[in-house]
Amino acid sequence: MDLQAEEGHGISLKQINVNDELQHKRRYIMRGAGGRRNQSRQSRRSGRSFMLFMAPSFLGVLLFVLLPFLDVWKRSFTTAVTGQFNGIRNYQTIFTNQAFVLAVKNTLRFTAVCIPILVVAGLIIALPLSKLQNAGLVKSLYLFPLAMPTATIVIVWKMFFYKQGLLNLFLTQLGEWTGLWGEIHKDYLGSGAAFWVLVFSYVWKNTGYTVVLWLAGILGIPNEFLEAARVDGASGGQIFFRIVLPNLKGSLYTIVILSFLNSFKIYREAYLVAGAYPEQDIYLLQHLFNNWFVNLDFDKMAAAAVCVGGFLFAVIMLLQHLWDRDEA
Amino acid sequence: MTTKTQLWTTAKGWFRKNQYGKSVGQGLTMLLLILPAVLVVLPMLFLITGSVMGNGELKQYLSPIFAEGTEYISWKLVPDYPTFEHYGKLLFMTPQFFVLFWNSMKMVGCILAGQLLVGVPAAWAFAVYKVKSGRVLFALYVVLMLLPFQVTMLSSYLVLNRLEMLDTPQAVILPAVFSTFPVFLSYGGFRGIPMQLFEAARIDGAKESTIFLRIGLPLGKSGLLSAMVLGFLEYWNMMEQPMAFLEDKALWPLSLYLPEITWSQAGYAFAASVITLIPAVFVFVWGQDYLEQGIIYSGLKE
């Protein structure tokens, strides 16, 4: 902070100290009769400024998100066409709807597989990177897929994972070379393997994001901790498990939350590779929502939006709570 | 038993010795470099070579896609007869492509400008004015930022329908302008500024708006710039929103148009992909520091 102030943004460090002192004195004098009033005037002023700066954003959020979501909540209890009150029947419908159950199952499976892989892969890459002097280029390489639009990369994935594609060509050649297996004609996009293509694509795209978050966490661990442990004769493994990992809990929560958020965007790849009705294993909640939307099934969509939104809200709150508890 | 321990100690000593430790570390670094390089550069190379490959050559390599046989497609990383015919066709014979390119540009530009105007002041309010209701509101903003598009799709549709904005560019732009993600990122930049600066300015008689424009924006710009960089990459790649709210294909962004190109026009598809990639790569290279900073801000706790 001193640096910023000293760099000449109009106010010098000395001034700040003087002003602080002045304020102290003033507060000291005011305490008693007028102090309270002065304080409340100040808080009222900051309340007014808060509202002025906040207003455009909040009104927009209110109009475009909050109020319409209330409408969705209301609609989840009515029929789609006539708008009659329907009780919890929409909810009953979606939970007995096979497509919904399948989509929920697949979406959960996808996150349950992807997030651990991403979290661990990110950490494995971030640890040596944190010790490297010039990690810039490596980091850029890992981050680059983030910049690649999905529509451009899907063409390449198709060439690789297509039934007559390059992966099968490579595997066949490997088989010929080792003599272990013959020609391979697996259709990775039209079978259960499509799930793993999506996993690969997700990890490919998001590893850089995770690495940067882990790096920030690792570099945030005070060096004294590590020095002290080393002086006390702790081994590399001990330092990692007893000092580095416990100090990265905060990063872990964030990474899990953000990876979860990003995992919903895999729909782009899934849709571009396999369309609106893909192979059963990669039929995700996002497909279902989109298809309901196209077919104007707003009653089911409303009930499902309320359920998924509520579930995500609960998960976020749980992670936040765990995090708070750890910090306390 | 003893030999085993001996072996272990020698091995440990071997790794601990500086020179070997260094070479092991370097080997690991090389691996770390090579793996992503292959995974990142190879798809890029595919796109670029495909875009300068003649039609005859493309047909020869990709013909198994059209024939139901057991033959594999093949590829060459350096085409035999490089040509710019696909770029020529794209840039001079397909005005439609320009329309879509500008659709994308306008959409992203409007969204980012809107986010600057609306989101950055809100971030400032959260960072500077500590009022009671602020904390609750901030928690709400964080939750909204984490909700996926599918959950808010119906609510967006309902409001856009009522405002009669469906099938206009605003249908995609306005909901994105009020996204709370840039608020969170800009907040990360503002909260790094020491509060005493604002106090000092206030005592000198500066108005709140002056403090925001003269102190807040210059010192907290890393937050809003990282919001812009992350935002550009996100909205340049936007698919779900235009797919749901724009029926008129003349309004579509590039990201939706590309997948419509079929394999029979492979060269054209590759060239269009490369051109779509260029602005994103440009922003990535120019704003990489902000991109990283933005990712770190996105992981910060309030």
Mean pLDDT of A70-91: 85
Q: Do A143 and B258 touch (CB under 8 A)?
A: no
pLDDT tens, position by position, A173-226: 888 888 778 777 778 887 888 899 999 999 999 998 999 999 988 988 888 888
Question: What is the chain B residue with the closest CA to A285?
Answer: B150
Which residues in chain B have Cβ-Cβ distances shorter than 8 Å to A165? 72-73
Looking at the partner chain, which of A56, A154, A308 has a beta carbon nearest the beta carbon of B151?
A: A308
Q: Tell me, what's the pLDDT at A110? A: 94
Give the tokens for residue A107.
């979406």
Which residues in chain B have Cβ-Cβ distances shorter than 8 Å to A159? 46, 73, 75
Cβ–Cβ under 8 Å, residues B201 and A9: no
Cβ–Cβ under 8 Å, residues A77 and A86: yes
Tell me which of A48-62, A159-173, B17-31, B84-98 is least confident.
Answer: B17-31
Q: What is the predicted ipTM?
A: 0.83
Q: Which ranges of B129-264 would DSSP assign to H, the alpha helix? A: 132-146, 149-162, 170-177, 181-190, 195-203, 208-210, 217-219, 221-236, 240-245, 254-257
Q: From residue A328, give the alpha-carbon distance in Å to each of A243, A325, B168, B302.
A: 18, 5, 50, 15
Backbone angles phi, psi at B152, to 5 degrees: -100, 5
Confidence of residue B7 (pLDDT cuts 50, 70, 90): low
CA distance B6 to chain A (A): 18
Q: Do A153 and B43 touch (CB under 8 A)?
A: yes
Q: Tell me, what's the pLDDT at A31? A: 47
CA-CA distance, B133 to A147, in Å (whole number)?
37
Largest CA distance in chain A: 94
The alpha carbon of residue A260 and the mean position of all alpha carbons in its chain are separated, in whole angstroms, by 5
Q: Do A301 and B154 touch (CB under 8 A)?
A: yes
Question: What is the chain A residue with the closest CA to B285?
Answer: A140
The more confident residue out of A120 and A183 is A120
Is residue B107 pLDDT above 90, yes or no? yes
pLDDT tens, position by position, B263-281: 888 888 899 999 999 999 9
Q: Do A147 and B200 touch (CB under 8 A)?
A: no
Confidence of residue B261 (pLDDT cuts 50, 70, 90): confident
Mean pLDDT of A39-64: 85
The more confident residue out of A157 and A29 is A157
CA-CA distance, A217 to A214, in Å (whole number)?
5
pLDDT tens, position by position, A227-246: 888 888 888 888 888 888 88
Q: Do A23 and B33 touch (CB under 8 A)?
A: no
CA distance A289 to chain B (A): 6
Q: Do B255 and A151 touch (CB under 8 A)?
A: yes
CA-CA distance, A114 to A307, in Å (whole number)?
22
What ranges do the domains of chain B cover?
A: 47-83, 93-298
Which residues in chain A have Cβ-Cβ distances shorter than 8 Å to B65? 162, 164
pLDDT tens, position by position, B139-158: 899 889 888 999 999 999 99
Q: Do A148 and B277 touch (CB under 8 A)?
A: yes
Confidence of residue B22 (pLDDT cuts 50, 70, 90): low
Q: Tell me, what's the pLDDT at B177? A: 95
pTM of the model: 0.84
Class of domain B93-298: mainly alpha
Q: What is the mean pLDDT of chain B?
A: 85
Q: Tell me, what's the pLDDT at B35? A: 77
Is residue B169 pLDDT above 60, yes or no? yes
Confidence of residue B161 (pLDDT cuts 50, 70, 90): very high
Q: Tell me, what's the pLDDT at A236? A: 80
Q: Tell me, what's the pLDDT at A227? A: 87
Q: Tell me, what's the pLDDT at A4? A: 38
Q: Tell me, what's the pLDDT at B66? A: 74
The more confident residue out of B291 and A183 is B291
Is residue B231 pLDDT above 90, yes or no? yes
CA-CA distance, B82 to B246, in Å (whole number)?
38
pLDDT tens, position by position, A283-292: 999 999 999 9
Secondary structure (DSSP) of B108-166: HHHHHHHHHHHHHHHHHHHHH---HHHHHHHHHHHHHHHS-HHHHHHHHHHHHHHTT-T
The more confident residue out of A80 and A64 is A64
Looking at the partner chain, which of A47, A250, A271 has a beta carbon nearest the beta carbon of B301?
A: A250
Largest CA distance in chain B: 83
pLDDT tens, position by position, A1-33: 343 333 334 333 334 444 555 555 455 444 444
Confidence of residue A275 (pLDDT cuts 50, 70, 90): confident
Topology, domain A89-327: MetI-like fold (1.10.3720)
Q: Do B73 and A183 touch (CB under 8 A)?
A: no
Mean pLDDT of A258-267: 89
Q: Tell me, what's the pLDDT at B4? A: 52
Q: Tell me, what's the pLDDT at A288? A: 92
Q: Do B295 and A154 touch (CB under 8 A)?
A: no
What ranges do the domains of chain A cover?
A: 2-75, 89-327
Q: Tell me, what's the pLDDT at B174? A: 94
Mean pLDDT of B37-43: 80
